[in-house]
Chains A and B, each alone.
Chain A
Amino acid sequence: MQKEMAYSFPDEVLKHVFSFIQSDKDRNAVSLVCKSWYEIERWCRRKVFIGNCYAVSPRMVIRRFPEVRSIELKGKPHFADFNLVPDGWGGYVLQWIAEMAGAYPWLGEIRLKRMVVTDESLELIAKSFKNFKVLVLFSCEGFSTDGLAAIAASCKNLRELDLRESEVDDLSGHWLAQFPETCTSLVSLNISCLGSDEVSFSALERLVDRCPNLRSLQLNRAVTLDKIANILRRAPQLVDFGTGNYAAELQPDVFSNLAGAFSSCKELKSLSGFWDVVPAYLPALYSICPRLTSLNLSYATIQSPDLIKLVSHCPRLQRLLVLDYVEDSGLEELASSCKDLQELRVFPSDPFGVEPNVSLTEQGLVAVSLGCPKLQSVLYFCRRMSNAALVTIAQNCPNLTRFRLCIIEPKTPDYLTLDPLDAGFGAIVEHCKDLRRLSLSGLLTDHVFEYIGTYGKKLEMLSVAFAGDSDLGLHHVLSGCESLRKLEIRDCPFGDKALLANAAKLETMRSLWMSSCAVSFGACKLLGQKMPKLNVEVIDETEPPDSRPESYPVDKLYIYKSVAGPRFDMPPFVWSMDEAVKILH
Chain B
Amino acid sequence: MENSVAYEKATELRLGLPGIDEPAVLSSVKNNKRPLHDEKSGENGKSAQNETAPPSKAQIVGWPPVQSYRKNNFQQAKKSESECGGIYVKVSMDGAPYLRKIDLKVYKGYPELLQVLENMFKFTIGEYSEREGYKGSDYEPTYEDKDGDWMLVGDVPWEMFITSCKRLRIMKGSEARGLSCSGV
Chain A residues packing against B (C-beta within 8 Å): 79, 81-84, 139, 165, 167, 193, 221, 247, 249, 275-276, 278, 298-299, 301, 347-355, 357, 381, 406, 408-413, 418, 420, 439, 443-445, 463, 465-466, 469-470, 490-491, 493, 495, 516-518, 520, 551-553
Contacts and interface: CB of A to CB of B under 8 A. Distances in A.
A347 B29 contact: no
Most chain A beta-carbon contacts within 10 A, residue among B26, B29, B64:
B64
Interface of A is mostly: loop
Interface stretch (B42-50, B104-112, B113-121, B154-162): B42-50
16 contacts: A81-B65, A81-B67, A81-B69, A275-B77, A301-B78, A352-B39, A354-B44, A354-B50, A410-B63, A413-B25, A490-B62, A491-B14, A493-B15, A520-B10, A551-B6, A553-B11
**8 cross-chain pairs, A with B, having the tightest CB-CB distances, nearest first:** A352-B37, A82-B62, A354-B49, A247-B84, A81-B67, A165-B69, A84-B62, A518-B11
Given A278-B84, A491-B15, A552 B10 contact: yes
B63 A82 contact: yes
A241 B10 CA distance: 52
A79 B64 contact: no
A493 B17 CA distance: 8
Contacts of A553: 10-11, 13-14
B67 A82 contact: yes
B58 to A, nearest CB: 9
Nearest to B29: A354
A82 B29 contact: no
A299 B73 contact: yes
Given A276-B77, A443-B18, A491-B14, A83 B25 contact: no
B62 to A, nearest CB: 3
A553 B37 CA distance: 25
Interface string B145-158: 00000000000000
Contacts of A465: 63, 65
B7 A495 contact: yes
B30 A412 contact: no
Contacts of A552: 10
A334 to B, nearest CB: 21
Interface centre among A165, A249, A351 (most CB of B within 10 A): A351
Given A301-B78, A470-B1, A495-B11, 17 more contacts: A83-B62, A165-B69, A276-B84, A301-B77, A301-B81, A347-B70, A352-B36, A354-B46, A355-B29, A413-B26, A443-B25, A465-B63, A466-B15, A493-B17, A495-B7, A552-B10, A553-B11
Nearest to B53: A354
B182 interface: no
A409 B47 contact: no
Interface string B65-100: 111111101101110110010001000000000000
Contacts of A81: 65, 67-69
A423 B118 CA distance: 70
A274 to B, nearest CB: 10
A317 to B, nearest CB: 21
A383 to B, nearest CB: 9
Nearest to B68: A83
Contacts of B66: 82, 347-348, 351, 381
A351 B70 CA distance: 11
Contact of B69 (A139, A445, A518): A139
A250 B9 CA distance: 64
A350 B70 CA distance: 12
A287 to B, nearest CB: 25
B95 to A, nearest CB: 28
Contacts of A350: 44, 46
Contact of A82 (B17, B39, B68, B74): B68
B181 interface: no
Contacts of A352: 35-37, 39, 43-44
Contact of B14 (A167, A301, A351, A518): A518
B15 to A, nearest CB: 6
Contact of B65 (A82, A167, A493, A495): A82
Given A84-B62, A301-B78, A351-B66, A411 B49 contact: no
A354 B81 contact: no
A276 B37 CA distance: 24
Nearest to B6: A551
Contact of A298 (B37, B65, B70, B81): B70
Nearest to B4: A470
Contacts of B26: 413, 418
A496 to B, nearest CB: 8
Contacts of A301: 77-78, 81
B46 A351 contact: no
Contact of A411 (B18, B73, B74): B18
B5 to A, nearest CB: 11
A298 B74 CA distance: 9
Contact of B60 (A139, A353, A410): A410
A381 B74 CA distance: 15
A343 B46 CA distance: 32
A493 B1 CA distance: 14
B175 interface: no
A445 B65 CA distance: 21
B127 interface: no
Nearest to A81: B67
Interface hub of A299, A354, A408, A491 (most chain B Cβ within 10 A): A354
Contacts of B10: 495, 518, 520, 551-553
